[in-house]
Amino acid sequence: MNVSIATSQRPRRTQEERRAETRRKLIDATIQALQEHGAARMTMADVAEKAGLTRGAIQYHFDTPTELLKATVVEIAERMGGMIDIGALRGMELSPRIDALIDANWKAYTSGNYIAFLEIAVQGRIEPELGKVVRETLAEIELSRADTWTEIFADTGRTRDEIIAWRTALQVMARGVALSKMIAHQDAIVDPQVERFTTMLKQQLGAA
C-alpha cells in the first residue's frame, strides 16, 4: 500500500482532542516541575520547556497560573484515586479487600504525584487565592471518594458515618507516615505503622 495513501486515510484528530492533549502535556510538565523545583521556585517558563510548548500555549489554555495549578490538583487526585480498582475490590473477600485498598492508598501517598500536590498545598498557605481553590477542589473530590468507600464496604454492616470516619483515619495515617518516609527514607520506621493500622481496620470492619 502506498504510504501517502495510508497516511491520508488515518483519522485526523479533532480540535478538542488536540486541545486535550496540549492541556495534558502542560499538566504533566507542571507535576514534573513541582517535583524538581517546588512550587515556590517553579516558573511558567519551566513548565513550557518541559512540555515542549511556548508560554503562549499556557496562557491560551489557562487564564492564570492558578488555573493551571487547580487543573493539576484535579488531575493528581484523579491519578491517585485511579490506583483503586473498584471493580476488582467488589469481588474480593473483606480481608484481602482491605489489604488491597490500603496498599493502593499507600502507593498513592508515596508517589511523585503526592509530592507535587504537597508543593501546591504549601504554596496555597502563602497565596490565599490558590489556597481557596485547593480547598474547594478537594471538597468536591472528597464527596465522590466518600461515596466510593461507602459502596466498597456496604456489606460490613457499618454506617456511612463509620465508614467515612475510617477513611479519614486512613488518610491521616497514610499522609503522616508517607511524610515520615520522605524525611527518614527508612521503610523499617513506617512499615509497622501501616501493618498496625491494617489490623485495626480489619478488626473494626469485621474482617479479623
In this prediction, residue 4 carries a pLDDT of 53
Q: How crowded is residue 131: how many other Cβ atoms within 10 Å of its Cβ? A: 16
Closest CA to 117 of 135, 100, 104: 135
Closest CA to 109 of 118, 96, 122: 118
Closest CA to 34 of 118, 94, 110: 118
Contact between 73 and 120 under an 8 Å Cβ cutoff? The reply is yes
In this prediction, residue 183 carries a pLDDT of 78
In this prediction, residue 178 carries a pLDDT of 83
In this prediction, residue 136 carries a pLDDT of 85
- Copy the grid coordinates of residue 188: 523499617
25 three-state secondary structure: helix
Taking each continuous run of H as one helix and of E as one strand, the counts in the chain are 11, 0
Contact between 190 and 177 under an 8 Å Cβ cutoff? The reply is yes
Q: How crowded is residue 78: how many other Cβ atoms within 10 Å of its Cβ? A: 11
Chunk the chain into consecutive blocks of 10 residues (it has 208) and report each block's average pLDDT, rounded to whole numbers. 53 83 95 92 93 92 90 88 80 91 87 90 87 84 85 90 91 84 70 85 81
- Between CA 139 and CA 131 the distance in angstroms is 12
In this prediction, residue 133 carries a pLDDT of 81
In this prediction, residue 163 carries a pLDDT of 92
